[in-house]
Amino acid sequence: MNIEAMLDLMSLEEQVSLLAGEDFWTTVAIDRLNIPKIKVTDGPNGARGGGSLVGGVKATCYPVAIALGATWNPDLVAEMGVSLAGQVKSKGASVLLAPTVNIHRSGLNGRNFECYSEDPMLTASLAVAYIKGVQSQGVAAAIKHFAGNESEIERQTMSSDIDERALREIYLPPFEQAVKKAGVMAVMSSYNRLNGTYTSEHSWLLTQVLREQWGFDGIVMSDWFGSHSTAETVNAGLDLEMPGPSRDRGAKLVEAVRQGQVDPGTVRAAAGRILTLLQRVGAFDAAPDLSEHAHDLPQDRALIRRLGAEGAVLLKNEDDVLPLAKSGLRRVAVIGPNSAQARVMGGGSAQINAHYTISPLDGLRAALQGTADIAHAVGCSNGRLAQLFEGAVEARYYKGVGCQGEPVIVVTEQNGEFFWFDLPSSELSLKDFSVRMTGAFTPKENGQHFFGMTNAGLAKLYVDGELVIDGATDWTKGENFFGTANSEIREVRDLRAGRSYTITVEYLSPPPADYGINLTAIRFGVEKVLGDEAIQEAVDTARAADVALVFVGRNGQWDTEGQDLPDMRLPGRQEELIERVSAANPNCIVVLQTGGPVEMPWLDKVRAVLQVWYPGQELGHVVADLLLGDQEPGGRLPQTFPRRLTDNAAITGDPSVYPGKDGHVRYAESVFVGYRHHDARGVEPLFPFGFGLGYTSFRLDAAEASTTIMADSGIEVSVRVANTGARAGADVIQLYVEPTASDIERPVKELRAFAKIALQSGESGTVSLSITPRDLSYYDVELGAFRSLPGRYRLVIGSHAQDRRSTIDIELPQEWRGAVDDRTI
C-alpha cells in the first residue's frame, strides 16, 4: 500500500481521527478508505487482551521481567518473545505493550519486578532479544516507559530530574538499542515529567533524541491517560493518544491546526506513522480478527518451566544442602504464606488471568508422591490486602446507582475482584451503573476473621445482612487501583467453622469528575486472623521434619504498579517465622519470592536461600525441579542486594532524592546506580550484582584478547570455561571495563559484555566477548558526544561484579568520539 497516496485521500479530520484510540484498546478505523482498526494488549509477562484487568479470557503467564533479567540469556528471552507473540494473536491484538526497561534505581519501585535490571547493558541486551522475538511474528512491541519512570510515587505528575550524562549512560541506552538493533515499532511515553516537562510533550526526548538522533521511524503512544495537551503533544512527537475516545485530539486538534498552532504537515506525518504501523503488522493484508480465545500450549508450559529455572538465583547453599536427595526424605515441612498460594506474577497492568497456577505445595506434592510425606503450615500472613474472596460471585448489574429494579444482566464470576474497562451489556454505562454481588463463605476453622474491601467507586459490604464495611460514607482516595480507590477498610468478625455466611456487596459507579481518570473497580476478601498459635504450629511442623522449606516474600499486592514499597523487609511476621523455624530445624531452606532485593537479618540462621521471583504459572513445578535437583538454578542477580535499605544510592535521607519533594525527584546519584554506587562509595553489598550459585563448579582459564590495542573494530576476548563439578550446569561470564584515570568522575567499572555457557560435567567450552570503543566511553555533555580518552583500560572477567578471575590491560592510542546521531552501536 502507498502510504503517501492514502494520506492524499484523507481529510484533515480523518488524519486527526487516527491520532487517538477509539476505546480502551483499539485504534480508529476509517471505513471509507478501508483502513482497519487494530487492538493493543498489555504485557509484559503475558497477553491479557481487552478484558478486565483481573479477569477476561485466560492467557499464558510467563515469568516477570526481573526473573528474565536473572536468566542473563537473550536467546531464551527471544524464544519467549516468539511464544508471547502467539498469545498476543490469540487475543486479537497486533501490538504488545512491552517490554518495560526502566532501571532498578531505588529497590522500592512498585514495578521493580516489571523491569530487567539496574544495568543498562544487561537491560538493553534482553530488551532487544525480547523485541526481536515478538516482532519476528508480525506483532509490534511497544517499549516503555520513555523515560525516567523509576518510581510509582506521584508518577502522573512527578518530575524526574536527571542530568543528561545519566540519561545518556544509564536510562536511555535500552531504548536506544531497541531502536537501533531491534527496530522496535512503537515507544510508549511515561506518565512523569522529565526535567520539568511531561514526557508526552517533550520535544527534546521524542523528536530530537528518539527520531532525529536515533532514527526511530515507528509510533510514539501515550501511556493510558498520560497525555495532557493538544498542540504540545502533537508538536513534540506524540503520535497516538490512548485510550480513546479522545480527550485532547479530535475537534480540538482540528481547531489547533486551523488556528496555526499545529502545522498540517505535522498531523500528516503522525497519521502516516500510524498507517505504517498498520502496514507492518499486516492489518491491510487482512483486517484483524479482534476476537479472543485461550491458547494453552504444551510447548509454552515447557518454556515457562525452563525460564523459571534459568532465572532462579541460588544465593546460599551451606554444605551443598541443595539439591535435596529424594531417597533421604521421609517427612518434609512446607511452611510459609507463599507455600500454598501460587504467587506467579506482580500486580497492576501486568496482571493476566492465567490458564492455571501451580503452588509450591502442589508442585512438591506431585514431585514427592510416594516418596515422602509432606506436612504443611502457613505460619503467618504476608498480605497487604485481605485474602481475595474465592468462589462463585453472582453479579447483578443495574442501570443507575441504586441497585434498583430489574437487573440488566446477571453474571457469575469466580472471585471478589472486579475491574471494569467495559460492562457486560451495551445497555449499561460506566458513568451510571451499580452492581449487587453475592457470594457464600464457609470458614474452615473457628475464630476471628477479617473482612477487607477497597473500591474505586462507592460500595458497602454486608455479612448475613449486617453492614460490616462502609466504603461509601466519607470515602477518600487511597493507594489501591493505581491510586483511584480508597485504602482497604478492614473489620473483624468471629466466625464458626462449617457455617455458610452470605457476603453481599453493593457497588455504585463514581462520578468521573471525582477521579481525574474514570476507573471503576472493587476488591473484597476475607481471611482468618493468624497469631502466635499459627507460628507455633509451623515450628512444631518443622521440628518433626527432615527438612523445613520456608516459602516467604511478597506478592502482587506489594509488588505492584501504582505504589512503591515502604521498605526492603519481609512484610508481616515472616522474619520471626524464619528465625523460629530455623531454630526448630537446622535443615531450614528459604525460598524467596520478591520483585527485588530484600534485607536478610536471618541469613546466617538458614542453610540455603533460593530466590525464584514470580516465575509464572509453572511456579510449583519450577520450585520442585530446583529443590530436588531436576533442574539447575541458572540465575544470576540482575540487581544488587544491599545489606540494608540505606545502602542504596537513592536512599540518602533527603526526600528530594527519594521519594521526591514538591513535585520533583532529583537523581542526585547521577550515573552511580546499583553496583556502580557500591564500588565507588565502598559499600559492601549483601549479594553483588551478577551473583549466583549453582549445583556444580566451573573453572575459568585466563582470558585472551585478539589484540590489546583498541581500534574502531574493537577487541574480541575469549575465555575457556570448564565444568569441574559432578553434574551439568551453566555459568555466566561477565566482562567489566575499568576506565583510565581522568578528571571526570566515572564508575570504578561497568558491565560491557557477558555470555552464558551450559556445559556437561567434565566438558569445556569457549565464550567470546566483544567490546568496542564506545564501551570505554562516558558521555561528555559539553561535546554532546560519547568520549573515550586515550590511555590504558583494564578488562575484568569474572562471574559477578566483585569477582576478578582474569584481567587484561588494553590501550586506546587516541581519543574516540561517538556522535549521538550515529545510527549504529
Residues labelled catalytic: 223
d(Cα 57, Cα 48) in Å, to the nearest integer?
7
Kindly state the DSSP code that residue 805 receives in the 8-state scheme.
Answer: S
Name the pairing type of β-strands 159-161 and 193-194: parallel
DSSP string, 344-396: -S-BSTT---BS----HHHHHHHHTTTT-EEEEE--S---SSPPBPEEEEEEE
Q: Determine whether 644 is exposed, middle or buried from the number of CB atoms within 10 Å of its CB (0-12, 13-18, 19+).
A: middle
- Triad 411, 417, 421: Cα angle to 5°: 70
Euclidean distance between CA atoms 347 and 581, whole angstroms? 29
| SS3 call for 774 | helix
Q: Extract the C-alpha cell encoding 204.
A: 527534546
Q: Is 216 left (phi over 0), alpha (psi -120 to 50) or beta?
A: beta
Task: Please give the backbone phi and psi of residue 510, each rounded to the nearest 5 degrees, phi first.
Answer: -90, 155
Q: Rounded to whole angstroms, how far apart are CA atoms 163 and 779?
A: 11
Residue recorded with cell 500450549: 297
Beta strands across the sheet bearing 40-42: 40-42, 95-97, 140-146, 186-189, 219-221
Q: Which amino acid is at 341?
A: Q
First to last CA, the chain: 32
Overall size of the chain counted in residues: 825
**Measured distance CA(380)–CA(235) in Å, rounded:** 54
Residues 491/467, Cβ–Cβ less than 8 Å: no
Are the CB atoms for 722 and 764 separated by under 8 Å?
A: yes
- Measured from the Cβ of residue 195, the count of other Cβ atoms closer than 10 Å reads 17
Rounded Cα gap, residues 89 and 95, in angstroms: 9
* Residue matched to cell numbers 493510558: 224
CA distance 383 to 785: 48
- Grid cell in block for residue 446: 473457628
Angle at 530 between CA 527 and CA 532, to 5 degrees: 175
Note whether 527 and 386 are within 8 A (CB).
Answer: yes
